[in-house]
Chain A
Amino acid sequence: MELRRYIIRRLVQIAIIFFVILTVLFMLFRLAPGDPVSRMVDPDMTPEEAQILISELGLDQPLWMQYLYYLRNFFMGRFGNSFHYGQPVVTIIANRLPNTILLFTTSIILSAFVGVFLGKIASWHKGGKVDAWMTIGALATHTVFLPWLALIMIWVFAYKLGWFPITGMISEEVWLNPEAGIVAKSLDVLHHMALPLATLFLIHFGSYLLIMRSSMLETLKEDYILTARAKGLSEKVIRNHHAAPNAALPVVTSVGLSLAFSINGGALTETVFTWPGIGRELVFSVSHNDYPLAQASFLLIAIVVLVSNLVVDVLYAYLDPRIRY
């Protein structure tokens, strides 16, 4: 019950934050130099089409009315048409969102689990060679410049060795083949996903490893570990069942705190690998002055960030029975 109230409170907070972001974006679009009409209306449209769109978006109204129109259009999912694709922005976004979520969640979950596992091992061997090498490895991979790592991965594994496709998410010959079943199609996507996933994994697991390691060392000093030892439990049981679950909690917090960092990284990875996700769409639309698409992608990314934050917080509350909100 307590948890439900907490979730509701956080949802209200998220709604307020999002409303502020929405408003700031509206103001920025009006403050920027140039004509706001030209920013929403495709230059290729006929005057009649343009007129219809202008009245639909309320661009001929006074500013405060425009704001109300803007809010209404947002809730009705009307963002206008993309200049580049000529399709409604909503269609494009809805198309790209699953791809981003697939890559993003898989990479975070994978790197968190591996980070926790390796961090545990590093803390077992504290002060030894294994620990030293793991710490150095974690620090080094964590600070590598992501787009460069992505280029190197493509260069080595796709270009030189030819193990993976260079870019994209699907190969047409598999997806256009009517005989290809769901298994073949999924394998095709996995094959394309391997390199971007590996890149994001390499960048992320290091910080989780380091956090898990130091949290594990802290936890091993706790009284209940002493109690467990006094009961005569084996070291392995103490570490895996008594210390590790508690020590993993800060990792959950850090997943939440580093979300903004991960989203930046996700956008860069998608761009280099031309993975058809929201982040790449944002970068693409910004470089092609496709304002309607840029605006909608940005808002969607803001929603993704806020919701993932909520998920992480709820997960934390669920995992740690000591926390009651």
Chain B
Amino acid sequence: MELATKKIVLRYHWVFRIREGWGIFHQSLLGKIGLVLLLLFALMALCSYIPPRLDPMYDPMTGVDPKISHSTGPSMRHWLGTDFMGRDILSQLLAGARIAFMVGVSAAFMSIFLGTAIGMIAGYVGRIMDTLLMRLADMIMVMPTLLVVLILSSLFGQLNIWTIVLIIALFRWPGVSRVIRSQTLSLKQRPFIEAARVAGASHLRIIFRHIMPNVLPLSFLYMTFRVTSAIIIEAALAFLGFGDPGTVSWGMMLQWVWKTGHMFKAPYWLLPPGICISLITLSFYMLGRAMDEVLDPRLRREQEAG
């Protein structure tokens, strides 16, 4: 009985927090625009499974229209036209949405996982561990990720998409870990951590049960910003010709336009991928700023005062 009430209270607590957060989020115009745009992109990613099923010539990578062997403008058969070898641009664009989400979300998830873990360890353990980890973070933070991946791909040959995601994650954690570390440092001084320690909780239990729930919202805030940077890095890499040759990403499409010399001739091909990359980063960015307001009461008050 007692346990049951406790559970209800806990659930109410979470529901309440989410509803309160949604209320604030709802007032933010930027957040709403961002969310709507992201839902549209998600729809695009889902739709990417349709064209290849209609006809094999709509396959984004291998499907070539048998009647077309050069780039053509929009038509009924190909709504956005075709690329230099007769592949359908619309289905490439849809497939690109899928890749962008996949790259962005998985790289962001890995990097905030790493950043949160390292930040909590540095903040909680302190001393030499803290110094070492934070110096490492400083060092990685100043490295331009794109150029690091370039050097790695020159040494290790063509990288596949998951290796690229992994490298991006390995280089994008320091920002998160700094924030989580300072949050952990201030949490460590709070009485409830002291109480847990006196009650005999192990270090691991304190970290997972008491510190982690308090830093996770911050980590998730950083996740949206990491998504944008991962998408941009992958796109730039593909644009320069170092992407995974087996995937059709928006950066890859731009690389094809650029390298085949169609940029002055085929605006129907040059415009869509660039607009998509820019809009998806913009919408994740707007979402991040709106979530910032939800999680940071200081910003909220400023908004209310204005």
Contact = CB atoms under 8 A, between A and B. Distances in A.
Interface stretch (B2-10, B85-93, B153-161): B153-161
Contacts, number: 120
Interface string A274-285: 000001001101
Contacts of A260: 141-145
Given A139-B286, A301-B147, A305-B142, A148 B264 contact: no
B285 A283 contact: no
B273 interface: yes
B139 interface: yes
A185 B153 CA distance: 38
Interface string B265-293: 00100100110011001100110000000
A323 B254 CA distance: 46
Contacts of B242: 286-287
A126 B306 contact: yes
A289 B157 CA distance: 10
A150 to B, nearest CB: 10
Contacts of A17: 138-139, 142
A309 interface: yes
Contacts of A126: 306
Given A151-B270, A291-B154, A264 B139 contact: no
Contact of A289 (B146, B150, B154): B154
Interface in A141-190: 142-149, 151-152, 154-155, 159
A309 B263 contact: no
A298 interface: yes
A155 B265 CA distance: 10
Given A126-B306, A143-B281, A147-B236, A264 B147 contact: yes
B232 interface: yes
Contact of B144 (A32, A143, A151, A301): A301
A286 B146 contact: no
Contact of B240 (A33, A143, A271): A271
Interface in A84-130: 126-127
B239 A147 contact: yes
Nearest to B232: A145
Contacts of B12: none
Looking at B236, B254, B281, the one whose CB has the most chain A CB atoms below 10 A away is: B236
Nearest to B152: A28
Nearest to A31: B155
A211 interface: no
Contacts of A154: 263
Given A32-B155, A148-B277, A291-B154, A264 B146 contact: yes
Interface in B227-281: 228, 232-233, 235-236, 239-242, 254, 257-258, 263-264, 267, 270, 273-274, 277-278, 281
B199 interface: no
A263 B30 CA distance: 29
A158 B283 CA distance: 30
Contacts of B55: none
Nearest to B240: A283
A217 interface: yes
Given A260-B145, A268-B240, A286 B274 contact: no
Contact of B306 (A127, A147, A155, A298): A127
Nearest to B29: A132
Contacts of B154: 285-286, 289, 291, 294
B120 to A, nearest CB: 22
A286 B273 CA distance: 25
Interface of B: 30, 138-139, 141-147, 150-157, 228, 232-233, 235-236, 239-242, 254, 257-258, 263-264, 267, 270, 273-274, 277-278, 281-282, 285-286, 302, 306
13 contacts: A21-B143, A28-B152, A139-B285, A143-B228, A144-B274, A148-B273, A148-B277, A152-B274, A154-B263, A282-B147, A283-B150, A301-B144, A305-B143
